[in-house]
Amino acid sequence: MSKFVIAVYVDNKFGVLTRVTSMFTRRGFNIDTLTVGETESPEYSRITISLSGDGYAREQLMNQMRKLFNVKKVEVLEESEIIKRELMMIKVKNTPETRADILSAVEVYRAKVIDYTTGELCVEITGDPNKIDAFVKLMIPFGILEMCRTGIVALERGSNTLLNK
């Protein structure tokens, strides 16, 4: 099983996301992350999906997605040719004993404190998913109170775009 990222351009219409994700469920795929938003053209949305599977399953999935009416373009993004980012907000316990260590980690990871109380710190961090994972591991001893992640967004490097292929 390998991890891969799929980019899908779809019509920006009600119900399209449900049809796309239902196809994954019917085929028994577990979506690791899913992000969706309007593109440079308001008539389209871009769905970025990361998941795991073997090569055969991946090809079957791609073929089935291409058959969906509202899907305009679907591509597997090659790991070596993309830029991936993720956003996370994490709330950790803030005590006088741990505050300096947390703030040092925030600085090293180029994160940003977005809310501060005497009992909690809320931090925003963006970057490669591995960076986000490392930051989470570092925050565990301080006491994670809550966190949420956006999931992966990805673009191809250079002049390549999904629609000009």
Domains of the chain, by residue range, sit at 2-77, 83-153
Whose CA is closest to 22, among 60, 57, 68? 68
Separation CA 13–CA 137 (nearest Å): 39
Separation CA 12–CA 78 (nearest Å): 25
What per-residue confidence (pLDDT) applies to 24?
84
3-state secondary structure of 124: strand
**45, 71 contact by CB (below 8 A):** no
**82, 154 contact by CB (below 8 A):** yes
Separation CA 22–CA 15 (nearest Å): 11
Separation CA 38–CA 121 (nearest Å): 32
Tens-level pLDDT at each residue, the chain (165 residues): 788 899 999 999 999 999 998 888 888 888 899 999 999 999 999 999 998 888 777 888 888 899 999 999 999 998 888 999 999 999 999 999 999 999 999 999 999 999 999 999 999 999 999 999 999 999 999 999 999 999 999 998 888 777 776
Superfamily for the 83-153 domain: ACT-like. Chain A, domain 2 (3.30.70.1150)
Superfamily for the 2-77 domain: ACT domain (3.30.70.260)
Looking up tokens 């009416």 gives 69
Separation CA 26–CA 147 (nearest Å): 30
What's this model's pTM, rounded to 2 decimal places? 0.84
Beta-bridge partner residues of 114: none
Same fold, 2-77 and 83-153: yes
Whose CA is closest to 110, among 91, 84, 137, 134? 134
